[in-house]
Chains A and B, each alone.
Chain A
Amino acid sequence: MLPRPWTVGLSAAGLAVALVLLFTLSDFRLFQFTQVFIYAIALLGLNILTGFNGQISLGHGAFYAVGAYTTAIMIDQWEVPYGWTIPTAGLVCLVAGFLFGIPALRLEGLYLALATFALALALPQILKYFEHWTGGSQGIVLSKPDAPWGLPLSPDQWLYLLALAVLVLLFVLAANLLRGRTGRAIVAIRDNAIAAQSMGVNTALYKALTFGVSAAYTGVAGALSAVTIAFVAPDAYNVFLSITFLVGMVIGGLASISGAIFGALFIQFVPNWAQDISKAAPWAIYGVFLIVFMYAMPRGIVGFLRLAVVRWRSRRAEPTTAPARSRG
């Protein structure tokens, strides 16, 4: 872990770069970076559940879809201003995640992976079935919102700013949540559920709540994506979306907050480059990266960087002795 001033400094620098990009990039590039922010929120949501709490979800694309459809339906059917739909999508997913988390309490490891995988596979069908609200396979077309309060920004610039603001807010919330008492309980359940329970952690409640919070994050991301892309359709939320999230989480780093950014950059830009080789190439690359990362860098990019920092520091601190001090 980096010391706190470092974390704050690096975050501020990242934020400054993001603000400079706002006025220098073309609308198309901004749109891509908006996607990065949205993915980062979704990845953080998944990571809270899988990385920190140890509950495997292969179906987080489903919550992303629920968030996106909540927003799309509210705008399309009831003409609610999009600003209100985003927190609503988060709330809907919080409840949905909590409810799905209750049967998930009885499922450990593989079985939970299986149930969530089945959820991801079945979801497009469910979306198509409720045609009256969801528009069936045609989906729902929305319109891109203009910047409010007469701000001199293009719609893409405004959405970029909006996604960035939501991202910062949610990242700060997650960091606070995970640093405190709740965060320790969440991690303790992952490391040893029985020990955690005997220390007085209400495992069932925390697991279901973590599921809810995680789903809420992913749902907010889905809602933002619906507003940005201005289109939702069931086949965009197939099982491969859930696998994309898994890839992003693994590449960024399990149980790391900042890893979500790296993971999001990866899943946004690497497929674009790989697409030039073949239509199938992005997925082949995803697969290879998944496996190679599990062997070589199981804690992802962030874990790798942390290790590098630790080694560098211990080398500076003790120039004469080897960094391998035996513990205890």
Chain B
Amino acid sequence: MDTLIQQIVSGLATGGIYGSLALALVMIYQATDVVNFAQGEMAMFSTYLAWTLLNAGVPYWAAFVATLAIAFVGGLLLERLLIRPVESAPVLTIVIVCIGLLVILNSLAGWIYSYIQKPFPSPFPSTPLRVGNIYFGAHSLGALGITLLVLLGLYLFFRFTTLGLAMRAAAQNPVSSRLCGIRVGWMLAVGWGLAALVGAVAGMMVAPVVFLDPNMMSGILIYAFASATLGGFTSPGGAVLGGLIVGVIENLVGTYVGFIGTELKLTVALALILTVLVVRPSGLFGRAAVHRV
């Protein structure tokens, strides 16, 4: 029983990280109908920037905030420079541009920082908390807490600020929004900026666990895809919940289903994605897309 609870708790912690990356994917998808394949690499690159700042002697939380700011501006610029010119192009074009971005960021990180794994510090104490017979890793709890904080922040932003309202309007009905005086193009750019910011949080939370290297996000990204698919690409809350569910499933399956163990973890995500797409393509909480013929 203790093992079960233990596994569920640590599943929730990693699930929080999947959830935040999934949230970043969903935010971009909702605003622009683009699944950003480069989301993981953007997060990875932001984490390297944070590492550079920390190495230069900047205190952790200052570096954290600075990285978020850089990631926001970076995401905004990427949308303006790369995505905007192909905004109305066929899906294939946009997918290819995103893959191009993925490859560039990955190789750039390898070029600048080399492919050797680097340790990344955690802001939380290393002594685990103990409740009864169950140990909670302080970092896992902290990461989960920060993810939930980010989610709350985004919720408040979209729900209670004018900019948030304008962004929702721009995503839902671009033409009417433009007539009301909303600069739709910029709203999309801000969406990318926010997504990059959320991704950066995920990157900095996961790096102490998996170590920092240019390929660290590829496994995480497939889980984020699975989370977003499970929760529904049209539902931000669903994406985070999907992330938590995926994290727990991953841990339980890894512990209790003997033939899977840790070696087929990515395959579990693949199977999950395929199952959801085939059985319920809009996910648990998503709206089914209706096409006019």
> Interface of A with B (CB < 8 Å)?
50, 54, 56, 58, 103, 106-107, 109-111, 113-115, 117-119, 121-122, 125-126, 128-129, 194, 239, 243, 246, 250, 254, 278-284, 286-291, 294-295, 298
Contacts and interface: CB of A to CB of B under 8 A. Distances in A.
A121 B219 contact: yes
Contacts of B225: 114, 117-118
B265 A295 contact: no
A126 B222 CA distance: 15
Contacts of B85: 295
Contact of B107 (A110, A246, A284, A291): A284
Decide if the interface of chain B is mainly helix, strand, loop or mixed.
helix
11 contacts: A54-B92, A56-B91, A103-B277, A106-B278, A107-B281, A125-B263, A129-B263, A279-B115, A280-B111, A283-B104, A290-B96
B110 interface: yes
Given A109-B91, A115-B274, A294 B267 contact: no
Contact of A110 (B95, B104, B274, B293): B95
B265 A125 contact: yes
Nearest to B103: A287
B100 A288 contact: yes
B3 interface: no
Given A56-B92, A113-B35, A119-B270, A280 B108 contact: yes
Contact of B274 (A103, A113, A279): A103
A286 B89 CA distance: 21
B68 interface: no
A103 B279 CA distance: 10
A128 B99 contact: no
Contacts of A280: 107-108, 110-111
Nearest to B260: A129
Centre residue among B85, B97, B226, B265 by max chain A CB count within 10 A: B97
A239 B107 contact: no
A281 B107 contact: yes
Nearest to A293: B96
Given A106-B278, A114-B229, A126-B264, 12 more contacts: A50-B92, A54-B92, A117-B225, A118-B225, A125-B265, A279-B111, A283-B104, A284-B104, A284-B111, A288-B100, A294-B96, A294-B100
